[in-house]
Amino acid sequence: MKLFAALLFLVALSFGVPKIVVKDPWVREVPPVSTMSAAFMEIYNEGDEEDYLIGVETDVARVAELHTTIMEGGMMKMRKLENVKVPAKGKVSFKPMGKHIMLIDLKKVLRAGEKVKLTLIFKKSGKIEVQAPVRRGMMMMH
Ligand SMILES: [Cu+2]
């Protein structure tokens, strides 16, 4: 068992590991009648191996999905993504009009100044928890 652990350690050393750092997370304030909002952030990978964001959990919405925004026939549309790659020594931006974390079926009204706990789930790095303040931001069409 000790040998196995030592081997695992060596494997981890030789293949490198992702090192995820989340910066500037925030959630868009929406009118009380809205059942949807979105979360944004910068996800850096300071490690030397890529990782993938594969899901998000939160208490404030029934569902959290990874989305991207595309232009199609002059219309802005959203597409669900199964995962988002965070390249080694690279970063991914989640921002209005781009990739975002869609919060669907909000369970409560999100007001500017409050904080929302988001649990980001990565394929290799596991769960990373962030506190995202609610801010006013541009509305996006759905
Ligand atoms: Cu969306």
Distance 18 CA to ligand 1 centre (A): 27
pLDDT at 139: 58
Summarised one tens digit per residue, pLDDT across range 18-40 is 999 999 999 999 998 999 999 99
Distance 76 CA to ligand 1 centre (A): 11
- Which domains are seen in the chain, by residue range? 17-135 (2.60.40.1890)
Summarised one tens digit per residue, pLDDT across range 87-125 is 999 999 999 999 999 999 999 999 999 999 999 999 999
Q: Please report, rounded to a whole number, the percentage of residues in the chain having pLDDT higher than 90.
A: 81
Summarised one tens digit per residue, pLDDT across range 38-61 is 999 999 999 999 999 999 999 999
**Which DSSP helix (H) or strand (E) runs through 12?**
helix 2-15
Q: Provide the residues around ligand 1 (an ion) whose CB is within 5 A.
A: 67, 78, 102
Burial 81-119 (b: 16+ CB within 10 A, else e): eeebebebeeebebeeeebbbbbeebeeebeeeeebebe
